[in-house]
Chain A
Amino acid sequence: MKTLITVILCLLLSSLGFAQDNNKETKKDTTKLEEVLVLSRRKLSNHRQEKTLSSIDDYLEKSNKITMIKRGNYAWEPTINNMTSERLVVTIDGMQIFGACTDKMDPITSYVDVSNLEKVTIGSGQEGTENGHSIGGGIDLKLPSSKFNGSGFKSGLDLGYETNGNYKATGLDLEYTGNKFFISADGIYRKSDNYDAGGNEEILYSQFEKYNISLKTGYKFSETQSIDANVIYDKATDVGYPALPMDVSLAEALIASLTHYYKPEDKALKSLETKLYFNTITHIMDDTKRPVVAIRMDMPGWSDTYGFYSKAELMKNKHHFTLNLNGFYNKSLAEMTMFSNNPGEPDMFMYTWPDIRTLYSGIFIKDDFHFSAHETLASSIRLGYHNNKIAKEVGVQSLQIFHDTVDDQNNRFLVSLASTYQLKKENYNLSVGLGYGERAPSVSEGYGFYLFNSFDNYDYIGNPNLKDEKALEANFSFKQKFNDFEIGLESSYFHIMDYIIGEIAPDVSSMTIGANGVRVYTALDHASIFNTYVNSSYKISKRFAINGTVGYNYGKGNDGENLPLIKPFSYFAEFNYNTPKFNAALQLDGNGNQSNYSRKYGENETADYAILNLNLGNVFYNKLGKTVLKYGVENILDTKYSTYADWNNFPRHGRNFYLNLSFVLQ
């Protein structure tokens, strides 16, 4: 392992060393390695999205690298490279934000909506460490950039309806752009009743209702300097989680930021962006809608984060440097009160997250070195100081029930390194990368207290003495074009050391009534995760195209046991017809049988499935602007199915007709 770190460091240093090279050459645009999904509804005329009012969850799921874990119809949890939240860094425009639910019912992606965002940047593995340390990768949900182009007043209205679940969505956005000033506001409202699985089986507790509003304004001081302020308020109420024993009565977020931009001209420094931000989340679980529960309980959680980043882009000769200095302070608190079924007994109370404070500060440096016309060496390093503190004394004491030594503070020094060689030729692309990364345990892994996981039916106890989880990573991708046919291969391998996972604590009684027992977070010596995807597309004619993807994933611990939530063999095929004003796509989406499931972590064999979707779209132009109509049928054959990523195998949507209508006025 040390050798590999040395190799990466050498690569990094050697590329920095080349900075002295004075060879003048036309600068190429930096090539983003990240997979970028363009979300802006203003760019929807390219017909890439099936629905103009898709949720972020739907958008993310379209990515090869991402699979969404579903506990219900709302607030899905993204995974990259078969790794879930704690191994990823998910940020909103560089802002750190942490869910307030101990049971991961509120991934960050649930607190923003498409109307807030311009695009999503996904970095696989150590390529995703610009905003924080991760093992699996990073997702950055980008807010729209400031505009001072004087385009004036613009507005848009979106309407959506889906038959399955009587799902309604409405979006409105208003925007004024001057030469020195802009202001934009948007709002989105979504409401769904219970949906039906295939065969008209109603899925109880799958309803949700949410709205999201955001306001953004900016002022340009001079040609080089501008400032903007952004506020997002997101509130979901009455969210059902059919796969879990509890629902959510409130998930509320306020996300605010102030950003200063400095863009000098004709200097090596291309841009300097500094943001101050804060966000606060309140999450309240609710079991009052469930007629039968073992015991009634309240489980509120709160998460507040304050932070900043300062990011600089520099161009010098063939180098493109990105520097990012960031820091945040998070406060996570969650508690549980249970109301005894025996009259006269007092309420039972515990802190499930005993007020954990996390202080992080770190620096990220990346160099994209274009050392020849076709070749790039991208190297990055992130160094960070990570401190956890248990603010409540009772938190220390309660963890001492399980651990002999519990310090109220824990300091870690984290390192991430990555280096990728990329070759781009007209007919083929090649990229080879190596990386090493470390991460600190999440609040739940480090400090959680009796967190019930309905997936394996165990209560989980955090472990404040966990070592950093470390991963060595190798990735490879290749794409070859033969006239109208294109084939590509993407592959990543992770060797994860001190892989954090819950181990059964024998003879410890569960707290949750009916649970199988208790697991305490501990670490496997090592684990391996591998994934590979083959993508191909063929352009039959100017208007017809087909494309397909086949994927294989693998995950095993050193004990020979399968890791949980590893995607089985998957395939996707699409037949497209495109004209400038009309598009149609017929999709086949399926998974093979999940034979390598993890019995140890509560999985069972999920059967194979395949579904068919038909998506259609029209664009109409008129004097005032344009109208985009998107419509189609999902799961045409009304197949009843669930995937490996569906919590407790609850079934997904049956047949669904949808219609989205967007008006853009300008």
Chain B
Amino acid sequence: MKLKYVLPIAFIALFFSCSTDDDDNTTIVNEVEGLELIQTIVNGNETIELYNEKGLFETGYNMISLRIKDNTTDSYIEDATLSWMPMMQMPTMEHSSPKSTISKAIGKDTVYEGFIIYQMINTDGSGWSLTLNYTIDGTDYSLTETISVMQYGNQNTATFMGSDGTNYILALIEPKDPSIAVNEMKVGLFKMENMMTFPVVEDYTIALDPRMPGMGNHTSPNNTDLTYNNADNFYYGDLSLTMTGYWKLNLKLMNTDDDVLKGEDVTDENEASSLYLELEF
């Protein structure tokens, strides 16, 4: 056999024979590694922990991880079912917001996750509360707690009425960490059926025209319009960003018949669409 085959085998053999048997590693895996605690809510025998990457709620799309701790055993519950209802209290009325269901995070035992899109806040950050309903071993529990939501620096969510008279909510999800590249753009589109119900809008099209107002309304090439993906109920498109800085993502919402519900084309005369999201990096 040639030396070039013998050598690697010899090395591999040597390596494995030298390695110690540390397979029975029992250190506890931290399932919220990389996440920051937003808030803990004590409810009788349970403590609910809310996490996300930043450790705070902001307007727009929030991916939230939850854990339920059994305060007596000091262990996390692995087989609960959860649901939630965010609520915004306004002077004359109250309303909820688009949200997902809560499900067990993939590959984790104790962490549940879901998203909430806070479409607006009061100027002082107050107004939101979160109701959590959960079931452990057939017993239902419920709690409501005030939460504080910070205003995000840019417009990452748009709430508007379309030409069909429906109120829509559009939220930017990706790119979270944009780069000078063709970025995958992901948005969620919901309509306000009533104050409490915000179903996903399916099969519409969102035309995309990113611009840099600070650069003479420079735009980038090879962007694609966002289309609906029925696998996860979000809209996806390509967003090219040619440099860092402030980008205005001009959008135009079209229904399944291609009627424009909101937004205008950007032209020399019309600098921006009335429907847009913002991005800065």
> A interface vs B, CB < 8 Å?
294-295, 336, 338, 340-342, 345-351, 394, 397-398, 400-402, 449-450, 505, 507-511, 513-514, 518
Contacts and interface: CB of A to CB of B under 8 A. Distances in A.
B214 A294 contact: no
A351 B181 CA distance: 12
12 contacts: A342-B246, A345-B246, A346-B245, A346-B246, A346-B281, A351-B180, A401-B180, A402-B221, A508-B221, A509-B219, A511-B215, A513-B218
Nearest to A508: B221
Given A350-B244, A401-B181, A511-B242, 18 more contacts: A295-B214, A336-B243, A338-B245, A340-B245, A342-B246, A348-B214, A348-B246, A349-B245, A350-B180, A394-B180, A394-B181, A400-B181, A400-B182, A402-B221, A449-B242, A450-B243, A511-B215, A513-B216
A482 B245 CA distance: 71
Interface in B207-249: 212-222, 240-246
Interface of B: 179-182, 212-222, 240-246, 280-281
B242 to A, nearest CB: 6
Contacts of A402: 221-222
A509 B220 contact: yes
**A-B pairs, 10 with minimum CB distance:** A397-B181, A348-B245, A340-B214, A513-B216, A350-B243, A345-B246, A509-B219, A401-B240, A398-B180, A349-B244
Contacts of A509: 217-221
A1 B280 CA distance: 53
Contacts of A345: 213-214, 245-246, 280
Contacts of A394: 179-181
B214 A341 contact: yes
A29 to B, nearest CB: 54
Nearest to A394: B180
B245 A401 contact: no
Given A394-B179, A398-B180, A509-B221, A294 B242 contact: no
A400 B180 CA distance: 10
A397 B242 contact: no
Contacts of A518: 221
Contacts of B220: 401, 509
B221 A295 contact: no
Nearest to B241: A401
Nearest to B211: A509
Contacts of A401: 180-182, 220-222, 240-242
Contact of A511 (B181, B182, B213, B218): B218
A397 B219 CA distance: 17
Contacts of B179: 394, 397
Nearest to A403: B222
A398 B242 contact: yes
Contact of A342 (B213, B218, B219, B221): B213
Contact of B245 (A294, A347, A505, A508): A347
B215 A338 contact: yes
Nearest to A338: B215
A168 to B, nearest CB: 41
Given A401-B182, A505-B221, A295 B244 contact: no
Nearest to A347: B245
Contact of A397 (B180, B214, B280, B281): B180
Contacts of B218: 509-511, 513
A518 B222 CA distance: 13
A349 B214 CA distance: 12
Contacts of B213: 342, 345
Q: Considering residues B219, B240, B243, which has the most beta carbons from chain A within 10 angstroms of its beta carbon?
A: B243
A350 B212 CA distance: 14
Nearest to A395: B180
A603 to B, nearest CB: 25
Contacts of A347: 244-245
Nearest to B209: A509
Contacts of A400: 181-182
B245 A507 contact: no
A397 B246 contact: no
Contacts of A350: 180, 242-244
Q: Considering residues A345, A401, A510, which has the most beta carbons from chain B within 10 angstroms of its beta carbon?
A: A401
A346 B244 contact: yes
A450 B182 CA distance: 16
Contacts of B241: 401
A69 B240 CA distance: 36
A358 B214 CA distance: 35
Contacts of B215: 295, 338, 340, 348, 511, 513
Contacts of A295: 214-216
Contacts of A398: 180-181, 242
A507 B240 CA distance: 14
Nearest to B245: A348
A348 B181 contact: no
Contacts of B180: 350-351, 394, 397-398, 401
Contact of A294 (B216, B221, B281): B216
A342 B240 CA distance: 22
B176 to A, nearest CB: 16
B216 A348 contact: no
Contacts of B280: 345-346
A389 B99 CA distance: 46
B149 to A, nearest CB: 23
A345 B245 CA distance: 7
B207 to A, nearest CB: 15
Contacts of B219: 509
Nearest to A404: B222
A265 B214 CA distance: 70
Nearest to B244: A349
A398 B212 CA distance: 16
A651 to B, nearest CB: 29
A514 B218 CA distance: 10
A358 B272 CA distance: 43
A391 to B, nearest CB: 15
A361 B246 CA distance: 43
A293 B17 CA distance: 69
Contacts of B242: 350, 398, 401, 449-450, 511
A405 to B, nearest CB: 13
A342 B181 contact: no
A349 B179 CA distance: 11
B246 A511 contact: no
Nearest to B223: A401
